[in-house]
Amino acid sequence: MPTSQILFAGLINGLMAGGIYVLVAVGLTLIYGVLHIINFAHGSLLMLAMYAVFLLWRKPLGLDPYAALPIVTAGAFALGYMLYRALIGHFSHGKDENILLITLGLSIVIDNAALFLFTGDTQTIDVAYAGRMISLGPALVALPKLVSFAAALVICLLLGLLMTRTDIGKAIRAVARERQGARLVGIDVERVMATSFGIGIACLGAAACLLMPTYYVSPSSGHAFVLIAFTIVALGGMGSFKGALLGGLLIGIVESIGGLWLGEQLGQIGIPLVFILILLLRPTGLFGAAR
Amino acid sequence: MTWTRTILTGCGVLALVAYPWVFGSNYASNVGFLVLFTAYLGQTWNIAGGFAGQTSFGHVVFFGTGAYVSTILQATYGVNPWLAWPFAALAGAFVGWLIGVLAYRAGLKGSYFALITLAVAEVGRIAANSVPITKGGLGILLRADPRPANFQFTDPVWFYYLALALCLFSMLIAWRLKRTRFGARLAAIRENEDAAQALGIDSFREKVKCLTLSGALCGAGGTVYVQKYLYIDPSIAFGIDKSVEMLLVTMIGGAGTVAGPLIGSGVLQLVGEVTRDLGSMLPGVGNAQPLSIIVYGAVLIAIVAWLPDGLIGLFSKGGGKARHA
Amino acid sequence: MTQWKVRRQAVTRRGFIAGSAAAGVLGFPAVLRAQARTVRVGLIHPVTGFVAYSGQQSRIGAAMAIADANKAGGIKGMGGATLEAVLGDSQSKVEVGVSEVERMNEAGVAAYIGCFQSPVGIAASQAAAKYNTPFIIDVGASDLIVNRGLKNVFRLKPGFGKCVDDAVVALGEINRAAGSPAKSAVLVHESGEFGTGTAKLLAGKLPSIGIEAKELIPHDNPTRNMDNVALRIRGIQPDILIMSNYVNEYTLLARTLHQQRVNLVGMFSVLGGGFNYRLARDLPDVAENMMDYNHWFNPKSSKAQDLKRRVEATGALFTFEVYLTYNSVMLLVDALERAQSADKDKLIEALTASTWSTDIVPYGPTRFVNGQNEGGRAVGLQVQKADIVVVHPAEYASAAAVFPKPRYN
């Protein structure tokens, strides 16, 4: 059993990792909450956003990944909105299982387009502050991880405000709850759904900017986050922001402590096990409404 | 069943039996094997996902469990693979029963059920990677000893006929499901579980039975895979790829239909082979191959876009549809 | 079994194509283009999927070798017959790799070269065995590939058993020369067959050079976060770290340890997936003084330097996949020359008796035992000033090892 110092450091590491998971999962949960589908293209779109960050950082533009955040996020929103309008909403014929298949097809296309355009090579970006360490008690945390953790919290807060304080937020919630009813009161349901999809993908844009200073990108790098994001979304309760936030942090900690305790390989088993246990005990997730 | 359908079915079966004779090549037999074997696995998914509405993202857990059980029995304990085969089915059935009892007792439905199967498959993969009995990440290699008594064949045509038999067998089960009370109860649960229960259907029992059946069939498939390729490792046995493949061929072909998985598997396999082949002929080194998979993905989207009920919609207007009548 | 074969050969390939409309779809017309004076080589690599980069690199090497061999007059022993590549994509999947073997067999390939991933190589070479077609493993570390009693399988490069043996010797000598600062090690490895196998062998051999393997830390592929691995290494405080993993996790771990300022006497890897020119160029601070024991070209060979220039001129990196596949093709060319025929039995015989040598890699003449070339070797490498240099053994070394490496402040 590891010492308390190492345990504390592991806890901090888990929280930091959880921050990124939250960002990936929050987009997924929004899309689930409104469209009622699991977006299989989520990992591929994250990878695409990471390439965008990489290309902006590379010469000749030389844009810092944090400075690129507004651009990539806005671009990701536009891409998500258009994908929904041109493809997903259009071709799904209103059937959930068809949306699932289209997002599956989309992920195949995106992954291989990236492979074609960027080759299968692993790319990293090297920024001066990546090596800056901040000490939190016995734990040493890389500055970019602290930044991404804080940013994840801020983005969740902003999303929460967007959903409760704005008209579009209210419309999204109305569509999520009762699609037909929303249509009847004059809400443009298709537009709201496209907007939700756009916001979900925009979260990925932000996640990509926050990840790249310490991570890498290759055509398959997004998939590392998909399974875990699914887990968090169901764990927190599908469609629940609060659930995604707490679920993400919880999974980050479970992964970290599990890794310290059981080893990095077997420790991974903690994630699906906790997930299974929680769902068996609370079938709608931590914060999910009964469906 | 009308006369025309009987005749059509008969012709279809005859064509499948004659296929290796017509295309006298091992390559064609091998492609045929992949079509039928994937269709078989798809049908096992269909029994739960299509007929009972129990969509799963982790069906590979049955496949992987079956594959490991028969392989370990064979490689470690020297059991003849034919004898080990039923144990693979039993193991698959047990895992199906266990998931069913736990998940349905907790009342998991829809996406929650789908995701919990995915999580169980992940547990399987990580466990297989970590415990000594599976040799962890090293994987298990079966000794090549091609004798029919040893469940190994040199000529791919035998695996083709084995897959054909399995595929037809699973289709027969699916066909029976559409005609028995058990199948009717599953259909009722799929359409509206609350209403089904109000009619006195014990939905928990029926769903567990259905998942156990599906798991048994899928587990038996695992053995066939290892006997053909003679190697298994945790990511082959429990990777998400196979789960998606099973779901994909079934949904593209037409979920909840008898012929859906076979049609879906045939078309997707053909598209996959053709695009891969074309990709390898394009000039330029290395880079052309992703393009072929892009085309594959685009074809997939196009099928969904134009045939919302799956490929089966091409063959029967309304007749084959179980799901969205 | 026999009557099956007889009957099925009665349907000729040409008749098969003419007789069915679907044949065009299945891609056989390629056969019609086959000419007597070409020798077809089936190349099966994962050019899509998770390890697409490596597959593409292998293809570059194969294409260059085939172009070089043809430019040099083809197979002289066969009247100047030219080599023709039949390209295949395993998509990183076993089933697809086997499917490609069957397709290429229809196309009449004389030999196969592939497959990068060991599981695909194991299954594909097994499938090729029933046609008695030679299968040259260009990359594929697992020692399960050879030693299966398959007469058609040949691996030019050393497997991980031999690499580990040599690596331990090299590490021992480097350590001793520095006054034995390394007494303990932690091994971090990917949990697949490559990483697990390498790490277990290493852990067993390290005591022979006075280094204690304190702990083995396996990790999944992909791993999102190496912070905890760094934490544990810091807790155990080993003198050296030995890694065996693929490119992404290798890069991530190296980067995390650098960020966390984990002090080590040295970082060493055996067949380190991420140890390449890109790491040295893109993350020079991270990579500096990292050591690896890997397949490498002979830096003192002008042929190797020439090949390196040509590969880099195309914008690609000169990675081990490139020259291992290049050499695999050349090994085949040599065997064809001596067999004077593409007949499979003669070709296998020629490969088995092969004493081919090249100075592109630091190998002696080939000597196949159960399909494994015993004449190959890997070398000790180190990143020094954003470049990769050979530091062991002395006869190929272009620089001395920096060991122990400077400490972080």
What pLDDT, on a 0 to 100 scale, did the predictor assign at position A249?
Answer: 94
Alpha helices (H) in chain B, listed in sequence order:
3-22, 26-49, 60-75, 81-105, 110-130, 156-177, 181-191, 193-198, 203-229, 234-238, 240-253, 260-281, 289-306, 312-315
From A36, A238, A276, residue closest to B119, measured CB to CB: A276
Q: Which of residues 194-253 of A touch B (CB under 8 A)?
A: 227, 230-231, 234, 238
Residue A221 with chain C: CB contacts under 8 Å: 222, 248
Residue type, B30: N
A184 CB neighbour count, 10 Å cutoff: 10
Q: What is the pLDDT of residues C361-403, one digit of tens each?
A: 999 999 999 999 999 999 999 999 999 999 999 999 999 999 9
pTM: 0.91
For residues A206 and A155, the answer to whether their CB atoms sit within 8 Å is: yes
CA distance A53 to chain B (A): 22
Q: Residue holding tokens 């055996």?
A: C270
Measure CB to CB from residue B126 to each of A87, A101, A268 and give the nearest one. Answer: A268
Of A102, A231, A279, the CB nearest to B301: A102
pLDDT for the residue numbered B278: 85
The HSE-up count of residue A147 (CA atoms within 13 Å, CB side) is 20
- Average pLDDT in chain C: 88
What does the pLDDT read at residue B250? 96
Contact B23 C16 (CB under 8 A): yes
Residue identified by tokens 């494994």 is: C372
pLDDT in tens, A33-89: 888 888 999 999 999 999 999 999 998 899 999 999 999 999 999 999 999 999 998
- Using DSSP's 3-state secondary structure scheme, residue A136 falls into strand
Q: What is the pLDDT of residues C208-246, one digit of tens each?
A: 999 999 999 988 888 888 988 998 898 899 999 999 988
Measure CB to CB from residue A272 to each of B119, B255, B297 and give the nearest one. B119
- Chain B CB contacts of A265 under 8 Å are 126, 129-130
Which chain A residues are within 8 Å of C222, Cβ to Cβ? Answer: 220-221, 223-224
Tokens at C230, concatenated: 């760094």
Interface contact B11, partner A, CB < 8 A: no
pLDDT category of residue C30 using cuts at 50, 70 and 90:
very low
pLDDT at C3: 35
Q: What are phi and psi of A127, to 5 degrees?
A: -110, 150
The pair of structure tokens assigned to C366 is 């080939």
Q: What are phi and psi of B145, to 5 degrees?
A: -150, 75
Using CB atoms, list chains with 3+ pairs below 8 Å to chain C: A, B
Measure CB to CB from residue C52 to each of A115, A214, A263 and give the nearest one: A115
Kindly identify which residue of chain C lies nearest to residue A1, measuring between CA atoms.
C232
User: Do C87 and B280 touch, CB atoms closer than 8 A?
Assistant: yes
B contact residues 93-112, partner A, Cβ 8 Å cutoff: 102-103, 105-112
If DSSP states are collapsed to H, E and C, what string results for A178-221?
CHHHHHHCCCCHHHHHHHHHHHHHHHHHHHHHHHCCCCEECCCH
Contact B44, B62 (CB under 8 A): yes
Question: Quick one: pLDDT band at residue A263, thresholds 50, 70, 90?
Answer: confident
pLDDT of residue B284: 57
- Residue A38, C-beta contacts closer than 8 angstroms, at least 6 positions apart: A28, A32, A100, A103, A230, B57, B111, B114, B115
> Are the beta carbons of A91 and B305 separated by less than 8 Å?
yes
Query: Considering only CB atoms, which chain C residues are within 8 Å of A10?
Result: 228, 231
**Residues of chain A that touch chain C, judged by Cβ-Cβ distance less than 8 Å:** 2-3, 6, 9-10, 13, 16-17, 20, 112, 115, 119-124, 126, 130-131, 133, 140, 142, 145, 214-216, 218-221, 223-225, 228, 255-256, 259-260, 263-265, 268
Question: Residue C247: what pLDDT?
Answer: 85
Q: Which residue among A130, A219, A265 sits closest to C220, beta carbon to beta carbon?
A: A265
pLDDT in tens, C238-281: 999 999 988 889 999 999 999 888 899 999 999 888 898 989 99
Q: What is the pLDDT of residue A289?
A: 61
Asked if C408 has any chain A CB less than 8 Å from its own CB, the reply is no
Model confidence at A2, pLDDT cuts 50, 70, 90, reads low
In one letter, which amino acid is C147? N
Amino acid, res. A140: L
CB B221 within 8 A of CB B40: yes
Chain B residues inside the 8 Å CB shell of A101: 248, 251-252, 300-301, 304
B129 contacts C220? CB cut-off 8 A: yes
What is the rounded (10 degree) CA torsion for A172, A176, A180, A186? -10
Question: What is the predicted pLDDT for the residue at B316?
Answer: 64
Verify whether the Cβ–Cβ distance B294 to A108 is below 8 Å. yes
By Cβ distance, the residue of A6, A133, A215 closest to C260 is A133
Binding partners of A (≥3 Cβ pairs within 8 A): B, C
Is-contact C91 C102, C-beta < 8 A? no
Listed range (A103-112, A134-143, A169-178, C156-165) with the worst mean pLDDT: A134-143
Residue of chain B nearest C198, judged by CA positions = B138
| Per-residue pLDDT tens digits of chain B, which is 325 residues long | 578 888 989 999 999 999 999 988 899 999 999 999 999 999 999 999 999 999 999 999 999 999 999 999 999 999 999 999 999 999 999 999 999 999 999 999 888 899 999 999 999 999 998 888 998 888 899 988 889 999 999 888 999 999 999 999 999 999 999 999 999 999 999 999 999 999 999 999 999 999 999 999 999 999 999 999 999 999 999 999 999 999 999 999 999 999 999 999 999 999 999 998 888 777 654 568 899 899 999 999 999 999 988 999 887 654 444 444 3
Task: Name the minimum distance, in Å, from the CA of B116 to any CA of chain A.
Answer: 6
| Largest distance between two CA atoms of chain B | 65
Q: Is A271 on the interface with B (CB under 8 A)?
A: yes
Chain C residues 141-180 with a CB less than 8 Å from chain B: 142, 144, 148-150
Q: Do A224 and C224 touch (CB under 8 A)?
A: yes
- CB contacts, 8 Å: A259 with chain C: 228-229
| pLDDT exceeds cutoff 70 at A233 | yes
In this complex, which of A102, A275, A283 lies closest to B304 when CB atoms are compared?
A102
* Stretch 172-191 of chain C: residues touching chain A, C-beta under 8 Å: 191
The CA-based angle C222-B120-A50, given to 5 degrees, is 30
Q: What is the ipTM of this complex?
A: 0.91
Chain A residues whose CB is inside 8 A of the C263 CB are: none
pLDDT in tens, C159-188: 888 999 999 999 999 999 999 999 999 999
Contacts of A222 in chain B (CB under 8 A): none
Q: pLDDT-derived band of residue C6, with 50, 70 and 90 as boundaries?
A: very low
For A111-164, how does the pLDDT look when each residue is reduced to its tens digit (9 = 90+)?
A: 999 999 998 888 999 898 888 888 888 788 889 999 999 999 999 999 999 999
Task: With CB atoms and an 8 Å threshold, state whether A112 touches B106.
Answer: no
* Residue C373, min C-alpha distance to chain B (Å): 22
User: Does the CB of C192 have a partner CB in chain B at under 8 Å?
Assistant: yes
The reply to whether residue B233 touches residue C98, judged by beta carbons under 8 angstroms, is: no
* Closest chain C residue by Cα to residue A116: C48
SS3 sequence of chain C: CHHHHHHHHHCCHHHHHHHCCHHHHHCHHHHHHCCCCEEEEEEEECCCCCCHHHHHHHHHHHHHHHHHHHHCCCEHHHCCEEEEEEEEECCCCHHHHHHHHHHHHHCCCCEEEECCCHHHHHHHHHHHHCCCCCEEECCCCCCCCCCCCCCCEEECCCCHHHHHHHHHHHHHHHHHHCCCCCCEEEEEEECCHHHHHHHHHHHHHHHHHCCEEEEEEEECCCCCCCHHHHHHHHHHCCCEEEEECCHHHHHHHHHHHHHCCCCCCEEEEECCCCCCHHHHHHCHHHHCCCEEEECCCCCCCHHHHHHHHHHHHCCCCCCHHHHHHHHHHHHHHHHHHHHCCCCHHHHHHHHHCCCCCCCCCCCCCCCEECCEECCCCCEEEEEECCEEEEEECCCCCCCCCCCCCCCCC
User: Is the model's pLDDT at C17 over the cut of 50?
Assistant: no
